Structure 1
Amino acid sequence: MEKSIHSNDYLRLIAWLKAGRLARGYSMRDLAVMINEPHSFIGKVETAERRLDVAEYVQYCHALGLEPCEGLKLFKK
């Protein structure tokens, strides 16, 4: 079984999160402050060095004003 962090579905989800961050004009540091994490956390998530767990994913989405269910729909494509 392929590690989920390297799957096309997961990479598509991370790209969606990054696009959401950029569309709102947030830097990695801005988002890191919003979710109370170091900015390196955001960088590692966006380069797929670190996988988000479910709670982190929901927090990440809410900070960006994104609906978590919308991101999960990317797995059905």
Structure 2
Amino acid sequence: MGARDITDNDYARLIEILIERRKAAGLTQGDLVPVLRKDQTGISKIERRQRRLDVIDFVRYCEAIGADPATLLQEWLSGRG
């Protein structure tokens, strides 16, 4: 995976949805640290698209913000076309 993967518009939209949901839940990046098992800097890198989010981290991120991963993924898929 190269830079194209983290700058891809579809990937950017997925991260935007995650950030929007995190903020709507009233959570900070720091609130996600125990669930994602990453420090705040690592979470920041994901949100700034400097580090790729893998499927396990995606599920953990969703759980940390109180979102159903399947529902969030469906929201992302419906906005792609």
Quickly name the TM-score band, shorter chain normalised: 0.7 to 0.9
Q: Structure 2: where are the runs of 5+ without partners?
A: none
Write the distance in 1 (CA, Å) between the matches of 2:37 and 2:57.
Answer: 11
* 1:6-25 aligned within 5 A: 6-25=7-26
Residue-pair matches, total: 76
Q: Give the TM-score taking structure 1 as reference length.
A: 0.84
Instruction: Percent identity, please.
Output: 37
Structure 1: which 5+ runs fail to align?
A: none
Superposed displacement of residue 55, structure 1: 0.9
Q: Partners of 1:50 and 1:71 in 2: how far apart? A: 20
TM-score normalised to structure 2 length: 0.81
Question: Deviation at 1:36?
Answer: 2.3
Q: What is the distance in 1 between the residues matched to 2:77 and 2:52? A: 16
Deviation at 1:33, TM superposition (A): 2.7
**Shift in Å at residue 37 of structure 1?**
1.4
